[in-house]
């Protein structure tokens, strides 16, 4: 399987932490929908479900440009450098229950919000500085079409708020941002920290991870991964974008989310 380098993956303990623990069964749900929360720029990020068409903004500069190529090979292998091998998707997702869906309903569109940045690094560890502040989180899943067939080579861009409640909009570390590509089975996976709720005007927003998916022949999908146990993720968040991500024995929250794309 293709190896995704984890930039600046630090202490071996972190690798052990992510890989060594039993992944266990992960709650599989389609995903939590995105709402556009207002940010300090006045744009909305997570305020509500997106009507059809709204998610196409910015599509022309989508992951295909800023991220890895269709084969997902960034050129950096890490595993061959002599340094300890970075965890792979296979490793961090080992044992994950990805399910065998027989009915695949398009993933709801959710607001992209104002905090997307182009050119997020090709990596599956979204916490390059090995920061603390919330529970470690591993999300695994697949990109599928409406017939539940895997979509290989889909470019997935992920971004979410940092533990202090701000998005990293400027630093070269691209904290809590990353780009990855699905393998031949449509599988992806990433590790990060649980996104925190942050303030949007007078509103505390639900915890959410923004995701943009681009694949040849399919309509771009912009959505969010949300959390079923988040009291702020009420009925205004579609159930298809809420996942269960329980803590495992190693203190890592693990969940699964399948992105269902439709043909362009």
Applying CB under 5 A, which part among 11-19, 42-50, 141-149, 239-247 lies near Fe ion? 42-50
Minimum distance, C-beta of residue 55 to Fe ion, in the bound complex (Å): 14
Nearer to Fe ion, 3 or 210 (CB): 210
Does the protein bind Fe ion through residue 111 (CB under 5 A)? Answer: no
Nearer to Fe ion, 9 or 137 (CB): 137
Nearer to Fe ion, 32 or 180 (CB): 32
Quickly list DSSP for the chain.
Answer: ------TT---HHHHIIIIIS-----EEES-PPP-B---TTS--SBSSBPPTTGGGTTGGGSHHHHS--TT---S--STTSSSPPPP-HHHHTTT------S--PPPPPB---S---TT--B-SBS-TT---SS-EEEEEEEEE-TTS-B-TT-EEEEE---TTS----S-TT-TTEEEEE--TT-EEEEEEEPPPP-EETTEEPPPEEEEEEE-TTB--EEEEEEETT-TT--TTS-GGGEE---B-TTS-EEEEE-EE--B-
Minimum distance, C-beta of residue 230 to Fe ion, in the bound complex (Å): 13
Minimum distance, C-beta of residue 57 to Fe ion, in the bound complex (Å): 15
Nearer to Fe ion, 4 or 190 (CB): 190
Does the protein bind Fe ion through residue 45 (CB under 5 A)? Answer: yes
- Determine the size of the site formed for Fe ion (CB under 5 A): 3
Minimum distance, C-beta of residue 193 to Fe ion, in the bound complex (Å): 15
Site residues (vs Fe ion, CB under 5 A): 45-46, 113
């Amino acid at each position: 399987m293709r190896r995704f380098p984890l930039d600046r993956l630090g202490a071996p303990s972190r690798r052990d932490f992510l890989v060594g623990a039993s992944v266990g069964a992960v709650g599989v749900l389609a995903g939590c929908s995105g709402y556009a929360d207002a940010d300090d720029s006045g744009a909305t990020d997570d305020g509500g479900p997106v009507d059809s068409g709204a998610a196409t903004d910015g599509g022309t500069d989508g992951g295909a440009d800023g991220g890895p190529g269709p084969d997902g090979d960034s050129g950096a292998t890490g595993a061959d450098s002599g340094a300890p091998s970075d965890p792979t998707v296979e490793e961090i997702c080992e044992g994950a229950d990805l399910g065998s869906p027989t009915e695949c309903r398009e993933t709801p569109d959710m607001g992209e919000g104002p905090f997307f940045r182009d050119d997020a690094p090709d990596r599956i560890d979204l916490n390059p500085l090995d920061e603390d502040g919330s529970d470690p989180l591993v999300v695994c899943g697949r990109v599928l079409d409406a017939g539940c067939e895997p979509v290989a080579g889909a470019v997935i861009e992920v971004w979410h708020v940092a533990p202090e409640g701000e998005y990293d909009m400027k630093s070269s570390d691209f904290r809590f941002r990353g780009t990855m590509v699905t393998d031949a089975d449509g599988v992806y996976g990433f590790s990060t920290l649980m996104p925190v709720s942050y303030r949007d005007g007078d509103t505390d927003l639900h915890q959410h991870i923004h995701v943009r998916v681009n694949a040849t022949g399919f309509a771009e999908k912009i959505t969010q991964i949300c959390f079923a146990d988040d009291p702020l993720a009420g009925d205004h968040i579609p159930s298809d974008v809420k996942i269960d991500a329980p803590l495992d024995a190693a203190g890592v929250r693990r969940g699964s989310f399948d992105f269902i794309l439709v043909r362009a």
